[in-house]
Structure 1
Amino acid sequence: MPRPELQPVTSPDDERLTDYVSLTDVELRSKLEPSKGLYIAESSTVLGRALASGHRPRSVLLAPRWVPDLERMLAALPSDDVVVPVYVADEPVLEAITGFHVHRGALAAMHRPPALPVETVLAGARRVAVLEDIVDHTNVGAAMRACAAFGLDAVLITPRCADPLYRRSVRVSMGTVFQVPWTRIDPWPSGLDLLRSLGFVTASLALTDDSISLDVLAANPPDKLALILGAEGDGLKPSTIAGSDLVVRIPMAGGVDSLNVASAAAVAFWATRVPDTMG
Structure 2
Amino acid sequence: MAVVIEVEDPGDPRLADYRDLRDVQLRRHLESAEGLFLAEGEKVVRRAVEAGHGPRSFLMAPRWLDGLADVLDRTDAPCYVVSEALAEEVTGFHVHRGALASLHRRPLPAVDDVLAGARSVLVLEDLVDHTNVGAVFRSGAALGFDAVLLSPRCADPLYRRAVKVGMGAVFTLPWTRLPDWREALPDLSRRGFTTVALTLAQDAVPVEDAVAGVDHLALVLGSEGHGLSGRWQEGADRRAVIPMQAGIDSLNVAAASAVACYVAARR
> Normalising to structure 2: TM-score of the pair?
0.94
Does residue 132 (structure 1) correspond to residue 125 (structure 2)? The answer is: yes
Partner of 1:222: 214
Report deviation, 1:74.
4.1
Separation in structure 1 between the aligned mates of residue 189 and residue 169 of structure 2, nearest angstrom: 27
Report deviation, 1:16.
0.5
Aligned length: 263
Partner of 2:238: 246
Separation in structure 2 between the aligned mates of residue 271 and residue 153 of structure 1, nearest angstrom: 15
Partner of 2:95: 102
Partner of 1:43: 41
Does residue 169 (structure 1) correspond to residue 162 (structure 2)? The answer is: yes
Separation in structure 1 between the aligned mates of residue 207 and residue 20 of structure 2, nearest angstrom: 46
Whether the aligned pair in 2 keeps the contact of 1:221 and 1:272 (CA below 8 Å) is: no
The percentage of aligned residue pairs carrying the same residue is 50
Whether the aligned pair in 2 keeps the contact of 1:217 and 1:272 (CA below 8 Å) is: no
Any idea what the Cα deviations from partners look like across 1:85-135, whole Å, max 9, x if unmatched? 110112221121122222212111110111000110010000000110001
Separation in structure 1 between the aligned mates of residue 58 and residue 218 of structure 2, nearest angstrom: 37
Matched residue SS, 2:148: strand
Separation in structure 2 between the aligned mates of residue 215 and residue 194 of structure 1, nearest angstrom: 24
Matched residue SS, 2:2: strand
Separation in structure 2 between the aligned mates of residue 44 and residue 83 of structure 1, nearest angstrom: 18
Whether the aligned pair in 1 keeps the contact of 2:19 and 2:92 (CA below 8 Å) is: no
Separation in structure 2 between the aligned mates of residue 110 and residue 221 of structure 1, nearest angstrom: 41
Partner of 1:28: 30
Q: 4+ residue stretches of structure 1 with deviation over 3 A?
A: none
Partner of 1:17: 15
Aligned residue type for 2:217: L
Matched residue SS, 1:139: helix
Separation in structure 2 between the aligned mates of residue 221 and residue 50 of structure 1, nearest angstrom: 36
Partner of 2:247: 255
Matched residue SS, 1:61: strand
Whether the aligned pair in 1 keeps the contact of 2:84 and 2:98 (CA below 8 Å) is: no
Whether the aligned pair in 1 keeps the contact of 2:55 and 2:104 (CA below 8 Å) is: yes
Separation in structure 1 between the aligned mates of residue 262 and residue 56 of structure 2, nearest angstrom: 37
Report deviation, 1:274.
5.7
Does residue 65 (structure 1) correspond to residue 63 (structure 2)? The answer is: yes
Separation in structure 2 between the aligned mates of residue 217 and residue 196 of structure 1, nearest angstrom: 15
Q: In 2 relative to 1, CA 30–232 (structure 1 residues): closer, same or farther, beyond 3 Å? A: closer
Any idea what the Cα deviations from partners look like across 1:53-111, whole Å, max 9, x if unmatched? 11111000011111122222344x6xxxx521110112221121122222212111110
Does residue 264 (structure 1) correspond to residue 262 (structure 2)? The answer is: no
> Normalising to structure 1: TM-score of the pair?
0.90
